[in-house]
Structure 1
Amino acid sequence: MKKLNYTIVNEPPTADEYIELRHKVAWDSVEQSVAQNSLDNSLFNVSIRQEENLIGMARVVGDGFIYFYIQDVLVSPEYQGYGIGRELMERVENYLSKACPEGSTVGLLAAKGKEAFYQHYEFIARDGENLGKGMCRFVRK
């Protein structure tokens, strides 16, 4: 595997970079102001860049006390398979280890086929046996 040179910082990308990365992974588009407000209201952000180009990001959202949600673990398709996702999750897990009090819940919505990746970090699938299955709703025009 080719070694990549990149920098990793606990900062959000710009709203335009976030929108572009969402587009690269075939996620819905959002307006620039919505993206900016969303990033600004995150509890934690991490970005990975190769030179000046954003190649990956992740963030944590929630109330900062009981509920924490890992959101937008995104890696540009041409950089997938190089361990970028693991680097992002290492930073996220480090943040959560300090931020989460006893009794808090950390959730996420895994993209289809990515569940095993998150199981490495002790996340469990909500299969409906003991806990209800996870649900979501997408708001589209």
Structure 2
Amino acid sequence: MALPDRYELICEAPDVEVYLRLRADAGLSPKTVEQGAAAITGTWFFCHVRERATGRVVAMGRVIGDGGWYFHIADIATHPEHQGAGLGRTVMDTLIGRIRAVAPPDPYITLIADPPGRRLYEKTGFVDTAPSVGMRLATSP
């Protein structure tokens, strides 16, 4: 899918403040500046989309992983005012394309699918992992 002319794709991380703001604007859980900075430095590959006219970052996504066989897609976010323009698909295609270009054959690519993103992820080729399910460590009291 071609990116509309009013946008440009940047294959690097945005500033931490921009990353945190877009997460919040897109309805993702809030994070601290320290968490955001660590997320950016700990990322294997990051890309974002910005409006050409304003320079405003309106979509993003990143990959964390070992660079060998395991890759996890995270922080897929599109600002609500820009949803429906194919930006999320462009970000997903860019992330997956980078993995396939650099990783050895048959990389294991995962993500956690919140309901709003499921349709995009399914269109990109992701399937449920059933009978396996994602798990997380519960926070301490």
Q: TM-score, normalised by structure 1?
A: 0.86
Alignment of 1:12-51 (within 5 A): 12-50=13-51, 51=54
Query: Any unmatched runs of 5+ in structure 1?
Result: none
- The Cα shift of 1:4 comes to 5.8
What is the identity, as a one-letter code, of the residue corresponding to 2:77?
L
Q: Distance in 1 between matches of 2:138 and 2:75?
A: 15
What is the identity, as a one-letter code, of the residue corresponding to 2:7?
Y
Q: Distance in 1 between matches of 2:18 and 2:34?
A: 13
- Identity over aligned residues, as a percent? 24
Q: Distance in 1 between matches of 2:139 and 2:6?
A: 38
1:98 partnered with 2:101: yes
| Superposition RMSD in Å | 2.0
Alignment of 1:1-141 (within 5 A): 5-50=6-51, 51-128=54-131, 132-137=132-137, 139=139
Q: Distance in 2 between matches of 1:55 and 1:140?
A: 35
Q: Deviations along 1:77-132, whole A, 9 cap, x unmatched?
A: 1110111111111211210111221243110011114223212222111232xxx1
Figure out how many residues of one structure are paired with residues of the other and give that number. Answer: 136
The change in CA–CA distance for 1:25 and 1:113 in structure 2 (over 3 A counts) is closer
8 Å contact kept, 2:100–2:107: no
Q: Distance in 2 between matches of 1:31 and 1:121?
A: 30
